[in-house]
Amino acid sequence: MNEYAIGAAFGALIVLAVWVSLYWRKRWIESYIMEEEEPDGDYKIILRKKSPHQKIAVAEACGIYHLFADGSEMLSTNKAEDQYAEAIVHVPMAAARNRESVLIIGSGAGITAREVLRYKEVESVTAVDLDPIIVEMGKTFEPFLAFTRGSLNDPRVTAILEDGRTFVENSTDRWDVIIIDLPDPSFHAPGLNKLFSVEFYRLLKTKLNPGGAMAIACSIVSTMPEYLAAIRATVKTAGFHVSPYHWDYIVEFAIDWGFCLATLRPVDVLSLEPLVPVKHLTEERLEDMFRLPRYLRVDWDEDEVQTDNNTLLAEVLSGEYRED
């Protein structure tokens, strides 16, 4: 083999090695941060860990920190996260008759607890989350501590490391407000179905004090309004008065989050107003959130509900749901 051939072969090996390296780096990154979830622009992964439940990563981009669980973003220290937290917390707090005791299922690093603690009448917050690494980061990781104002370290907060359903089933407590902020159910995480089921909502109904209110995060509904409709039907079947609402908080990206407000009594949602000073949730904005745009108002069979034994919401999210 002449020198030219040897050089060409060597060069080809280098190209192949670079390609293999880039391929496996991409595969590695996607196992912690899905491509469609990556932060805009240049970013660096500053932490990655495997908890008993999922792969966890923290990325930093332009001074903003992003927390990922199994590739999906859970928390970002930015304005959009503030808006989301205001929507899921201050609506049920305004609708509830009392606000002394609050249960958060899916408390994560503590952004919802931060907003709950802004109410002087709150005496106790029970913050339930399954993942010990995420909770520990909420208590000790400086960027998250600064963003959540150390909410999980507040003496009024009791952090519980347990599955939300298991905790509620074994608890004798009752609460004035319940906030459910969980990942979407999927075929890869079938246990989550039981945290969105009519059976679970019926159980939660027995755990609310008279005049209580509950808020449920209903994911990004911009492209799947059926998901919001299915949760509304499920909560209604459990015996609640249900008012769906939304927050198109990143209009430029056409992202619209859905929520359901569930109460034990009828509530005039158009008369609700924030009870504490907030950055983004004005009285007018709150009223507009309950006026669902046309694209979110879909026909839905009220008998089609999530149960402990079906995969309705996972089918809706995956596009596999078909009406009979």
Catalytic center residues: 181
Q: Nearest to residue 148, comparing CAs of 82, 206, 88?
A: 82
Q: Nearest to residue 198, comparing CAs of 310, 324, 321?
A: 310
Asked whether the beta carbons of 230 and 305 are under 8 A apart, the reply is yes
List helix spans (H) across the chain: 3-32, 79-95, 111-116, 132-140, 142-148, 164-170, 198-206, 225-237, 283-289, 312-318
Residue in the block written with tokens 């958060």: 104
Asked whether the beta carbons of 122 and 114 are under 8 A apart, the reply is no
- The strands making up 64-69's β-sheet, listed across from edge to edge, are 44-50, 55-61, 64-69, 72-76
Q: Which amino acid is at 158?
A: T
